[in-house]
């Protein structure tokens, strides 16, 4: 996943043309600061070579793909550079889905827990026939790098590998450990590396917080940076299967107890239902920032929902906007239907897939229970469907943590360095409605911040799509960002 937060946020701001000129965040841009150190020509050439190497290794979850080829190639680079073997771990649940965990050790005994950079190495399938170029060739053309993963997210994988190698080459003395995890199966597949590491190798990935470049980033409008979104929490993705069953019969003799009607009645209740209004420390900051940019009743309503207790009339008015609504509550929506077995028979089975995006702090099982209560029909079953498509009678009890307020330790350097690269761009935390690997760490109680430091034109988001590409200039900027950011975090 990449880019939903910033894209969604930008979509809210129809007036974004005027944004860059305005102070819009809790982290006002610093003025008159020292210029950032830029990567040298040889640093850049190494970073480009790593990027090219990763793009040209197919890491899709297909018979042609192999994540281990990519992670093992990076392992080789770290060992060749002189990283101690005990700090370089190639581990995983499947021979083709191995994860690489590299530890950049603090110079002395650290006072603080490590910082983890979490990067997925797999990419979404891409077909040569759909693309203008071979998706698994690194093509440089018209100021862009083309290839599957140039936006999601081999750009950041490569930039961070290059950063760790450069810090090591320069003999940088960190005050705390910095960890880089390059993982499998974020986009799909049965061997999600982030989840596997949290559950099987917590020792390798335990951290004060996680930086996940698979979200957030800088939105450009015709080359002008308009917003830098940082994902500070995300909703939990859950699918539920709703099933009505019936004895069926001949359709020439209809009966009222019809599986399709029964399912329709339940779905009608769902369509009319709103889960309770909620805010957390991230969405509070977000709506406070947004209120400063809005006008009239909308601005007043945004401030009114932040009052204690919140103004529920204002919440209801704002909830009419689907974007705001999805930030206020858990949402569930029917996305698939399947019913009946013949044109001339009463349906014996009617089934719907209901997709929920759960507000942090609630478990999938508690939402399943709420759906059962809402439907109030004991003849219906409500089952949980896992990401792998398996169906279970009950859902996981684990819930994403209610996010702590965005921490200055992360946001201060992030905003400072962002401002040095994209002067004046407002930085704001957001709640992501989609899902990334951050969720596994969030569920383990570790705060996660999603920021790619990659600037993309808002109408040129090609992650998962055809002819995926990244402006070469954006790659160099993200390289400069991660170098200074890793050092700033390592200095704390």
Binding site for Zn ion (CB under 5 A): 1-2, 152-153, 214
Q: How far apart are CA 42 and CA 198, in angstroms?
A: 36
CB of 120 or CB of 176, closer to Zn ion: 120
Three-state DSSP class for residue 151? coil
Do 332 and 382 contact (CB within 8 A), yes or no? no
> Smallest gap, in angstroms, from Cβ of residue 280 to Zn ion?
24
> Smallest gap, in angstroms, from Cβ of residue 25 to Zn ion?
25
Please give the C-alpha separations between residue 246 and each of 243, 348, 384, in angstroms, as whole numbers.
Answer: 10, 5, 21
CB of 1 or CB of 454, closer to Zn ion: 1
CB of 152 or CB of 294, closer to Zn ion: 152
Question: Which sign does the torsion angle of CA 89, 94, 98, 103 carry?
Answer: negative
CA-based end-to-end distance of the chain: 29
> Smallest gap, in angstroms, from Cβ of residue 344 to Zn ion?
47
Q: Where are the beta strands (DSSP E) in 296-415?
A: 331-339, 345-346, 349-358, 380-385, 391-392
CB of 2 or CB of 176, closer to Zn ion: 2
Please give the C-alpha separations between residue 457 and each of 100, 128, 302, 339, 461, in angstroms, as whole numbers.
Answer: 31, 24, 28, 43, 7
> Smallest gap, in angstroms, from Cβ of residue 438 to Zn ion?
11
List, as one string, the DSSP characters of 229-298.
EEEEEEPEEEEEEEEEE---EETTS--S--HHHHHHHHHHHHHH--PPP---HHHHHHHHHHHHH--HHH
CB of 153 or CB of 470, closer to Zn ion: 153
Q: How far apart are CA 3 and CA 489, in angstroms?
A: 24
CB of 1 or CB of 19, closer to Zn ion: 1
Q: How far apart are CA 435 and CA 1, in angstroms?
A: 7
> Smallest gap, in angstroms, from Cβ of residue 451 to Zn ion?
13
Burial class of 102 by CB neighbour count within 10 A (0 to 12, 13 to 18, 19+): buried
CB of 2 or CB of 103, closer to Zn ion: 2
> Smallest gap, in angstroms, from Cβ of residue 336 to Zn ion?
24
Do 225 and 211 contact (CB within 8 A), yes or no? no
CB of 236 or CB of 346, closer to Zn ion: 236
> Smallest gap, in angstroms, from Cβ of residue 319 to Zn ion?
30
> Smallest gap, in angstroms, from Cβ of residue 395 to Zn ion?
25
CB of 46 or CB of 152, closer to Zn ion: 152
Question: Which sign does the torsion angle of CA 374, 380, 382, 385 carry?
Answer: negative
Phi and psi torsions of 422, nearest 5°:
-125, 80
> Smallest gap, in angstroms, from Cβ of residue 243 to Zn ion?
32
């Amino acid at each position: 996943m990449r880019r939903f937060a910033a894209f969604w946020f930008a979509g809210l701001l129809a007036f974004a043309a005027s944004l860059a000129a305005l102070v819009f965040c809790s982290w006002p841009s610093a003025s008159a600061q020292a210029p950032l150190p830029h990567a040298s020509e040889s640093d850049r050439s190494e970073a480009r070579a790593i990027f090219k190497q990763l793009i040209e290794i197919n890491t899709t979850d297909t018979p042609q793909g192999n994540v281990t080829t990519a992670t093992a190639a990076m392992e080789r680079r770290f060992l060749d550079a002189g990283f101690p073997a005990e700090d370089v771990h190639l581990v995983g649940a499947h021979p083709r889905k191995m994860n690489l965990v590299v530890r950049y050790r603090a110079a002395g005994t650290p006072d603080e827990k490590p910082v983890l950079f979490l990067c997925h190495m797999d990419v979404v399938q891409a077909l040569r026939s759909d693309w203008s170029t071979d998706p698994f060739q690194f093509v440089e053309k018209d100021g862009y790098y083309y290839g599957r993963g140039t936006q999601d997210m081999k750009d950041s994988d490569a930039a961070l590998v290059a950063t760790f190698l450069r810090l090591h080459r320069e003999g940088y003395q960190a005050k705390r450990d910095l960890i880089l995890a390059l993982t499998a199966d974020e986009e799909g597949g049965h061997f999600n590396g982030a989840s596997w590491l949290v559950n099987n190798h917590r020792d390798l990935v335990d951290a004060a917080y996680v930086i996940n470049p698979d979200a957030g980033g800088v939105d450009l409008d015709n080359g002008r940076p308009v917003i830098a979104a940082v994902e500070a929490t995300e909703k939990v993705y859950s699918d539920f299967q709703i099933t009505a069953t019936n004895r069926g019969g001949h359709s020439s003799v209809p009966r009222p107890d019809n599986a399709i009607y029964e399912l329709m009645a339940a779905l009608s209740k769902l369509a009319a239902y709103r889960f309770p209004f909620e805010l957390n420390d991230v969405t509070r900051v977000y709506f406070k920032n947004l209120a400063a940019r809005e006008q009239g009743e909308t601005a007043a309503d945004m401030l009114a929902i932040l009052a204690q207790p919140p103004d529920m009339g204002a919440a209801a008015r704002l909830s009419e906007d689907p974007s705001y609504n999805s930030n206020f509550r858990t949402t569930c929506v029917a996305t698939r239907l399947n019913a009946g077995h013949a044109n001339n028979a009463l349906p014996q089975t009617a089934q719907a897939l209901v997709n929920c995006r759960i507000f942090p702090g609630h478990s999938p099982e508690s939402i399943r229970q709420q759906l059962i209560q809402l439907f109030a029909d004991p003849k219906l079953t409500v089952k949980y469907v896992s990401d792998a498509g398996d169906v279970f009678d009950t859902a996981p009890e684990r819930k994403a943590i209610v996010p702590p307020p965005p921490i200055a330790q992360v946001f201060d350097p992030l905003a400072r360095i962002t401002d040095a690269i994209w002067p004046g761009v407002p930085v704001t935390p957001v709640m992501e409605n989609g899902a990334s690997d951050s969720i596994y760490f969030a569920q383990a109680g570790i705060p996660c911040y999603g920021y790619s430091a990659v600037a993309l034109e808002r109408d040129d988001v090609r992650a998962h799509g055809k002819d995926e590409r990244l402006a070469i200039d954006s790659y160099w900027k993200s390289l400069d960002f991660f170098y200074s950011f890793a050092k700033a975090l390592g200095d704390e």
